[in-house]
Structure 1
Amino acid sequence: MADRDAGTAGRTPAGRDAELSWLAARLSAGAPRESSVVVLRGRAGIGKTSLLDAALAARSDTVVCRSAGVAGDAAAASRGLLAALREAGAPVADPEPEPDAFAAWYEDFAAWAAGKPGIVFAVDDVQWCDEPTLRWLSLLARRATRLPLRMILVRSAADGPAGAAERLSDLESWYGTEVLDLGPLPTSAVAALAREAVGSEPGERFVRHCVEQSGGNPLLLREMLDELRKVAAGVAPVAGSAAGSALIRSLFAGVPGYARTVATAVAVLGGQDLWMVARLAEVPVRTAETAVEVLRSQHILAPEGLAFRHDPVRDGLLGAVDPAELSRLRRAAATLLSDAAGSPEEVAEQLLELDALEPWMGDLLRDAARSACDRGAPWDAVRYLRPAAAARPSDAGLAVQLAETVALLEPAGGFDLLLRALDLQRDPAERARTAVKLGRLALVARRCAAAVTVLESALSELGAESDPQLRVSLEALLCLVGIEDRESLPKLGARLRPGDDVVDAGHLAVCAVVAALDGARSRQSAEWAIRAIRGYDPIADDSAVSATVLALLLADEVDVARDELSRVIELVPAQRSEYLAFRGLLGHWCGDLTAAAADAGQAYALGRRADGRTGGVVPRIALATVVAQQGDTAKAAELLREADSPQLWEHTVMRPWFQLVDARVHWASGDLDAALALFRRCGESLDEVGIGNPLLAPWWFEAACLLADDGQYDAAADLAADGTGPALRWGTPRAVGMARLATAVATPGDDRIGLLEEAAAILAGSPARLEEALAEFQLGRALVEAGDTAAARARLRRAAELSLRSGDRRLLHRAQQTAAEAGIPSQVKPVATLSPAERLTAGLAGRGVSNRVIAERLFVTVRTVETHLTSVYRKLRITGRAELAAALDQTDDGRPGVLGGVR
């Protein structure tokens, strides 16, 4: 039920000024668009609804559509919202429409909403909403980011049907959602309420007792103060006793003793069926039924079921029980629940309250932990396992289970616990299996150096008669971990047995990435990576994914790499932040900065909410890479500062890439000396770990461009020559084209034109859109210098088109500036700003294809289609599909106009 009795509607709740200001700011018409959904969470009676009442009371210019979830009537909230929409004059939709029907309704809704200063959808007790209602709210939230719409969802932290948390997770974890958890009232607010109740200034001891016994819960506090109104201010109500005891005495005044016994049994069992309550209370079932009716009549129990109206009353009742008696009741309750085949977690909650555990209880706590992990609550699993492990310190299996569970929440902590668990194991095969787990975790916790030592030891302990598959898995994992260890990477070649007979997916992934990092066999590397993808199951073990994707990216097998990243993003939620970041880097690699920014931005947002398995280094560097290319060097520098941590220096691959992006930022800021020093340091970092691929962090190419722009052609030519050999050895069109381009920019005078033409042609046959745009720009500039303005127009136009479509604002500005200085008129049309993915999506949508069909044709999710269309509408300054066809046809030949006068 909504906690309206925790405060007076429309009145500022005591002690909630900061929360009210925070919420009011999000309801303001000028609030940032990212915070379009706000979730208010807290225990019953904590004041959630009164806070919302106060915030909405101040928004007289806002259309408020308010409803509430109802236990036992899952569709009540949607009916209430639709009724409120109808009353406000808005179009009304089916809460579970077909996608096309929703799109049609949304266009009408958007047109209605666009003229409103503010709209609020407020849903109390959202945990009782059914899945169609939540899906409808989620879809609307994602589509309405440009409308003056806010959603306020009020959720009890404890109440709700089974599966409520999972149904709400989509809304609560969306990057546009902010969560406000209401905690207990501060001491100052308790003092203010006490002052209001007793009519004078309360003493410190009185306030302290009120805080301790109410737990800062406004509802219970007001009930307490009603009982204590006659007590003189400044003195504790009952010396040596808690105010809660007085409240319990008041609540149970006149209640028969058997009813209090039953209430205590209900408090211990937490809402089990009446038969079990009667067994624990040691009374007949009929007596228990009578007791429950008495407790309901006294407003102690809820009208339905076996639950207290307010949790503090339950806590106070248990606090009044003698500790020895309470321990006896807990043990009896655990036995009853276990004998009745109750859920392991219900039994575990009883056991956690005991001072000492019996042997059988440890196994039950382990079962409870597995159950908690299965429902996606590893924090509860850790609560169950810690006391079990403390009671059985020599149980290696229990130690491993605890370590794996802790690792879900804190990878570094789980890694340390796995190291301790290894000390408890004596069997070499068991140690090897645990070492495999440790190695996989090391890739997440960035503890690869320590893991290499353990894996090598485990491998040496395995006898010749050991499981061959275990040995193969251990060897493959040792190589995968070794890639991320700066000391081990140069030695990996001796461990590998590349060849067509290799079938283990992990081993194939290592062969692929080592060959890619070596920079010698691009086709072989890609073939091994593709075979590895076919051989592993990322749900069971995703340790080979990053290596495989890196090999595919360097070999320019970008479509396969993108498909694999999209697959694992959906299948491996624990690693979603890092895989989104990798897909962002892939988007940058292919010159689609719009998609790259969306992926990297989402990865960064996920990484900031919870460190998860990545610690945030890769998402920060990915986002810095994209925003630097888009021209926002200040933001890129800030992100690099956030990423610069001891964890970064454990990365063999991300460390040189970090230095490369840092150099780009200094170059864009005009600090050429620092940029050149960072480019050279990047090259040294690659040499330190034996990485020979010229494309992983192409410092030589960018440093050559910097020196050439500065007129230092000889130094630029030296770097271009150093990079050309490895680039030709790698042999992809990107590598060869970049080598030709570096040589061209380092060549002064008109001789560079032919080299630039060759580089542009080679790069046009690769996914390297950013490098192709740079080649076209350099060629256009060279033609301007040679006096061939007509030819320069075409090249500068091509450079501008590619820059617009990719989102490279820096190069776009340079191309436009060069054209202007040469007297070439410039004109940019909105359609030219669309990325290739956006243009393809918009073209299909403009022909009337539904979002679902577009998603199927392009092999993306419906959400991705919606994101592209939202961006398209913004860039083209239109409101919906009906205007797409006309907006896309902006030039006579169907191409976006960039530089006027060029055809």
Structure 2
Amino acid sequence: MVDPEATSTRPKRAGRSGPKLAGRDPELRWLTARLSTGEPATGELSTGEPGRPPVVLVVRGPVGIGKTSLVEAALAECGAAVVCRTTGTVDGRACQGLLAGLREAGAPVPDPDPRAFESWYAEFAAWAAGQAGVVLVVDDAQWCDEPTLRWLTLLARRATALPLRIVLVRGGVTDPATAETLSDLECWYSTEVLDLGPLPAEAVARLAAEATGPLATRHWVEPSGGNPLLLRVILDELGKVAAGVAPLAGGPVDAGLVRSLFGCFPGYVRAVATAIAVLDGQDLLLVARLAEVPLRTAEAAVEMLRAQHVLVPGGLAFRHDPVRTGLLADLEPGEPARLRRTAAFLLSDAAYPADVVAEQVLELGDLEPWMVDLLRDAANNACERDAPWDAVRFLRPAWVARPNDPGLAVQLAETVAELDPGSGFDLLQRAMELQDDPAERAGTAARLGRPALVAWRCATAVTLVESALSGLPADADPQLRPHLEALVRLVGIEDRTSLAKLGERLRSDADGLPDDHVEAGDLAVRAVIAALEGTEPQQAADWALQAVRGYDVTVDDSAVSAAVLTLLLSDEVDVAHDELTRAVELVPAQRSEYLAFRGLLGHWCGDLTSAAADAERAYALGSRTEGRAGGVVPPIALATVLAERGETGQARRLLVRADTPQMREHTLLRPWFQLVDARVRWAEGDHEAALAEFRRCGESLAEVGIGNPLLAPWWFEAACLLAEDGQYEAAAEFAAQGAEPALRWGTARAVGMARLAAGVAAPPAERAGLLEEATAILAGSPALREDALAELELGRSLVDAGDTAAARARLRRSAELSLRSGNRGLLRRAQQTAAEAGIPGQASPLASLSPAERMTAGLAGKGASNRIIAERLFVTVRTVETHLTSVYRKLRITGRAELAGALGQAAAEPRRWGVAR
């Protein structure tokens, strides 16, 4: 009987006796230690970060594995903690149950309305801090509704300092509507996951011996697989058999007991059962033909098998699969292969799909030529239904049968590349070695691009493609040569050694055909080459815009990164943001990478709130998926945002994870990594190490001939660092290094940053003029962070000059820009400067907005509809409406039409904010 208290939503104090568990001591110690709100757990089975207690604990496993019993036992050890339990449902009752339970425990809980969360949380935190512990348990979390999961996510992220634990108990199948939210929560850095596996063999044997004695324990219990629920079913079945109250009704058996099971049947019954096992429940007519008996005889045999509970009622499936496998295992040597071969012929003659026939062929060792062709057809069918794993299963034995077939090798390689790009690349290389015809070899080389980018085999790919190009005959497909040449550039530009080796070729190819005759991918490469050289921003932007209009990301997204980087460096941030958003929505395989790039774009435009949201989601997705640089870009993007917010410890851990060989060989990620690393060292107070890292960043750019001063503006950061330390002459040297390339590039951001760097390093008499010029230029750029910094430095300079009236206006603008961007560090510096100068503070209405409200208001102020805002922020439309209502009240405006003016973002203002659209 189920304990009613185990499923109640009412709160209870832990400490009652838990269920007795067998074979679960390590898991119980793991869960009990993490439910404790004392010192962080770092012991056995630990998967979290050392020194950080987990907030969310996920216990997952298949049905019947004992998840609930384990949680019950761990809760019994929680002492005086308040425990609230509920069960996940799709109708939202889980959240209502938790809130009701908290209310009964004395917590200040409002009506279950998400709009009341912010005002409620402060009271809840004060209450929870006075408790020995608070544990919220959600059983069947895989069926939990989306609003409840979002509420729990918000609570978990806010409550890292409270004695709160959220326990999610989930099975292996998840509601597709909430799968992504639940997975994101599981990948959060304050979440630890316990995958509950089978019971140990000794525990299974002990339980079986206690229940049945020596009654065939090994033969009957091993098929349970260590699943406690299945084990109980088996033991119950054995008890009935031993007591003589039930027939031998399909408990799991092995080959050794099949003979006794079928001993009471006529021989034709076992033959029919064996045919059913081979055909796996196909048409009874085929079963009769395979068993070599008349159809009526097969029908009689099936009725007998159903009467004895061997087959399910009304079907041709076994009650327990081990009966099926036992039948096949008990066949004479050579008989399984004969039956499989015959079954393949029968299914093929009956016009069954190639996939079904292939399942029989897969069991054979030696394949006939027609079987290889059949497997290739089955693989094509599998690819059409988006099942690459099945396609690989079909193609591998076919390739073993024909290892020197280049066409088969290419088909296998392309299929494998979808699942394992590195292995797919190796197989494509092998296929090229098998091909004698230069045109065919070139066609295979054209397929190297995506696996090379994903598996970081760019240098090898460039060599192979160049080799194919050199041998390409003049009468080959006229589209093949330009495609291969574009591929050399597209792949080579992402690898440091390849970029250096390509050198003049990459530059000279930019002067080929007119733009309207060039493919979109080639235009994107032209654009990024021009942008990296740092000489022609307008030409680079034009090429990138043409590329964006010319490619389809659902067909080929390989040019997205090059086009977006060019647009970003050219101050075309709105188009860059739209293109990344399109890629996020339409290229799910690369979603973590594009979200990370969008987070970097948000940081680039000074919008830390949206940058953090994108970077955190990218990191969560990147923890469980692969993509081109997918394992490197998300942690670097998140570290960039954390470093800006002063969370140096977490940023350092992410940088350590991202410091991989693939990152060190990347043309663009390596200098950016070094820049962020230097920023973290600066924030940690190690100015000497930070300065050295800034210099290494500049050297990395120079090694590959990148002259754009904005890609990783190490000179700007170094000048600001030295000026902060009072080393103005040294700061001026760094500012001078960036001034010339910045003026040559000529965008508002570049010129404004050059003036700002010169201003912070200038003598006091010259400083205010340069800084005022910098603020005027940066105000027309997307550089919100640098604009706020320029206003701050100008305000400080005016304070030093004794002009407090002018300083007040500059410092106020710096504070407003910092609030708009979510940059709390710059805001504190502006407020501190004003306070030290005796300038009274004036709280801006923007200060009262929460980060979520600022993001929502920024998008609404740019004209986005509530539906579009909800899609971009991954919230519901009702949540958007709630945020906007709060914004109108706090800013004292009547509606949407006044938002742009209230936020300082009037439609006539030329400035663009990238992500805050």
CA contact (8 A) 2:814 2:830 kept: yes
* 1:398, distance to aligned residue in structure 2 (A): 1.5
* Structure 2 SS opposite 1:64: strand
* 1:711, distance to aligned residue in structure 2 (A): 1.6
Q: 2:708 maps to which residue?
A: 693
C-alpha change, 1:216 and 1:532, in structure 2 (3 Å) is same
C-alpha change, 1:809 and 1:340, in structure 2 (3 Å) is farther
What is the CA–CA distance in structure 2 between the aligned matches of 1:455 and 1:680, rounded to whole Å? 35
Matched, 1:432 2:442: yes
Q: 1:388 maps to which residue?
A: 398
- When structure 1 is superposed on structure 2, of 764-773 and 222-231 the one drifting more is 222-231
C-alpha change, 1:443 and 1:147, in structure 2 (3 Å) is closer
What is the CA–CA distance in structure 2 between the aligned matches of 1:50 and 1:820, rounded to whole Å? 59
Matched, 1:64 2:86: yes
What is the CA–CA distance in structure 1 between the aligned matches of 2:830 and 2:737, rounded to whole Å? 28
What is the CA–CA distance in structure 2 between the aligned matches of 1:846 and 1:553, rounded to whole Å? 22
1:142-169 superposed Cα distances (whole Å, 9 cap, x missing partner):
355346987655346xxxxxxx997785
* 1:740, distance to aligned residue in structure 2 (A): 0.5
1:143-202 superposed Cα distances (whole Å, 9 cap, x missing partner):
55346987655346xxxxxxx9977854665455798655433223223323423569x9
Q: 1:186 maps to which residue?
A: 200
C-alpha change, 1:451 and 1:742, in structure 2 (3 Å) is same
Matched, 1:367 2:389: no
- Please tell me the residue identity of whatever aligns with 1:799: S
- Please tell me the residue identity of whatever aligns with 2:888: A
Within a 5 Å distance, the mapping from 1:161-240 to structure 2 comes to: 170=180, 173-176=183-186, 182-197=196-211, 213-218=223-228, 221=231
Q: 1:889 maps to which residue?
A: 892
C-alpha change, 1:34 and 1:343, in structure 2 (3 Å) is farther
* Structure 1 SS opposite 2:606: coil
CA contact (8 A) 1:630 1:808 kept: yes
What is the CA–CA distance in structure 1 between the aligned matches of 2:497 and 2:487, rounded to whole Å? 16
- Please tell me the residue identity of whatever aligns with 1:411: P
Matched, 1:715 2:723: no
What is the CA–CA distance in structure 1 between the aligned matches of 2:336 and 2:72, rounded to whole Å? 41
What is the CA–CA distance in structure 2 between the aligned matches of 1:82 and 1:274, rounded to whole Å? 46
CA contact (8 A) 1:890 1:896 kept: no
CA contact (8 A) 2:208 2:217 kept: yes
- When structure 1 is superposed on structure 2, of 330-339 and 832-841 the one drifting more is 832-841
- When structure 1 is superposed on structure 2, of 420-429 and 380-389 the one drifting more is 380-389
Q: 2:145 maps to which residue?
A: 137
- When structure 1 is superposed on structure 2, of 17-26 and 711-720 the one drifting more is 17-26
1:546-588 superposed Cα distances (whole Å, 9 cap, x missing partner):
1111111110111111111111112212211211111111111
Matched, 1:576 2:596: no
What is the CA–CA distance in structure 2 between the aligned matches of 1:511 and 1:285, rounded to whole Å? 70
C-alpha change, 1:640 and 1:725, in structure 2 (3 Å) is same
Note the aligned Cα RMSD (angstroms). Answer: 4.4
C-alpha change, 1:704 and 1:119, in structure 2 (3 Å) is closer
Q: 2:492 maps to which residue?
A: 482
Q: 1:72 maps to which residue?
A: none
TM-score (norm 1): 0.80
- When structure 1 is superposed on structure 2, of 757-766 and 487-496 the one drifting more is 487-496
C-alpha change, 1:627 and 1:138, in structure 2 (3 Å) is same
Which structure 2 segments of 5+ residues have no match?
3-17, 41-51, 101-110, 129-133, 157-165, 242-251, 905-917
What is the CA–CA distance in structure 1 between the aligned matches of 2:271 and 2:355, rounded to whole Å? 24
* 1:428, distance to aligned residue in structure 2 (A): 1.8
* 1:734, distance to aligned residue in structure 2 (A): 0.2
C-alpha change, 1:554 and 1:12, in structure 2 (3 Å) is farther
- Please tell me the residue identity of whatever aligns with 2:201: T
2:466 to 433, 448, 456: 456
* 1:249, distance to aligned residue in structure 2 (A): 5.2
- Please tell me the residue identity of whatever aligns with 2:741: P
* 1:274, distance to aligned residue in structure 2 (A): 3.4
- How many residues of Structure 1 are paired with residues of Structure 2 in the alignment? 824
What is the CA–CA distance in structure 1 between the aligned matches of 2:571 and 2:604, rounded to whole Å? 9
C-alpha change, 1:120 and 1:219, in structure 2 (3 Å) is closer
What is the CA–CA distance in structure 2 between the aligned matches of 1:33 and 1:867, rounded to whole Å? 31
2:867 to 855, 867, 874: 855
C-alpha change, 1:681 and 1:63, in structure 2 (3 Å) is closer
What is the CA–CA distance in structure 2 between the aligned matches of 1:370 and 1:25, rounded to whole Å? 51
C-alpha change, 1:720 and 1:462, in structure 2 (3 Å) is same
* 1:771, distance to aligned residue in structure 2 (A): 0.6
- Please tell me the residue identity of whatever aligns with 2:199: L
1:357 to 355, 367, 389: 367
2:634 to 619, 626, 645: 619
CA contact (8 A) 1:66 1:123 kept: yes
- Please tell me the residue identity of whatever aligns with 1:15: G
* Structure 1 SS opposite 2:86: strand
Matched, 1:864 2:873: yes
Matched, 1:811 2:819: no
Matched, 1:154 2:162: no
TM-score (norm 2): 0.79
What is the CA–CA distance in structure 2 between the aligned matches of 1:456 and 1:108, rounded to whole Å? 62
2:534 to 502, 519, 528: 519
- Please tell me the residue identity of whatever aligns with 1:340: A
- Please tell me the residue identity of whatever aligns with 2:84: T
- Please tell me the residue identity of whatever aligns with 1:866: V
Q: 1:442 maps to which residue?
A: 452
Q: 1:409 maps to which residue?
A: 419
Matched, 1:306 2:321: no
Matched, 1:338 2:348: yes
Q: 2:254 maps to which residue?
A: 244
Within a 5 Å distance, the mapping from 1:47-126 to structure 2 comes to: 61-65=83-87, 122-123=139-140
- Please tell me the residue identity of whatever aligns with 1:462: L
Q: 2:12 maps to which residue?
A: none
C-alpha change, 1:433 and 1:21, in structure 2 (3 Å) is farther
* Structure 2 SS opposite 1:468: coil
- Please tell me the residue identity of whatever aligns with 1:313: V
What is the CA–CA distance in structure 2 between the aligned matches of 1:311 and 1:208, rounded to whole Å? 17
- When structure 1 is superposed on structure 2, of 138-147 and 501-510 the one drifting more is 138-147
Which structure 1 segments of 5+ residues have no match?
3-9, 68-77, 91-102, 127-133, 157-163, 232-241, 874-878, 898-903
C-alpha change, 1:316 and 1:792, in structure 2 (3 Å) is farther
- Please tell me the residue identity of whatever aligns with 2:890: A
Within a 5 Å distance, the mapping from 1:770-849 to structure 2 comes to: 770-826=785-841, 831-832=846-847, 838-839=853-854, 841-842=856-857
- When structure 1 is superposed on structure 2, of 499-508 and 52-61 the one drifting more is 52-61
- Please tell me the residue identity of whatever aligns with 1:886: R
What is the CA–CA distance in structure 2 between the aligned matches of 1:139 and 1:285, rounded to whole Å? 56
What is the CA–CA distance in structure 2 between the aligned matches of 1:382 and 1:488, rounded to whole Å? 32
C-alpha change, 1:254 and 1:577, in structure 2 (3 Å) is same
CA contact (8 A) 1:408 1:613 kept: no
Q: 1:469 maps to which residue?
A: 479
What is the CA–CA distance in structure 2 between the aligned matches of 1:538 and 1:272, rounded to whole Å? 42
* 1:219, distance to aligned residue in structure 2 (A): 5.4
* 1:216, distance to aligned residue in structure 2 (A): 3.2
- Please tell me the residue identity of whatever aligns with 1:137: D
CA contact (8 A) 2:146 2:178 kept: no
* 1:487, distance to aligned residue in structure 2 (A): 3.6
CA contact (8 A) 2:59 2:67 kept: no
C-alpha change, 1:349 and 1:493, in structure 2 (3 Å) is same
C-alpha change, 1:140 and 1:290, in structure 2 (3 Å) is farther
Percent sequence identity over matched residues? 63
* Structure 1 SS opposite 2:793: helix
* 1:267, distance to aligned residue in structure 2 (A): 2.6
* 1:408, distance to aligned residue in structure 2 (A): 2.0
1:642-697 superposed Cα distances (whole Å, 9 cap, x missing partner):
11111112201111111111111111111111111111111111111010000001
CA contact (8 A) 2:867 2:877 kept: no
What is the CA–CA distance in structure 1 between the aligned matches of 2:93 and 2:729, rounded to whole Å? 75
CA contact (8 A) 1:451 1:481 kept: yes
What is the CA–CA distance in structure 1 between the aligned matches of 2:54 and 2:279, rounded to whole Å? 43
* Structure 1 SS opposite 2:479: helix
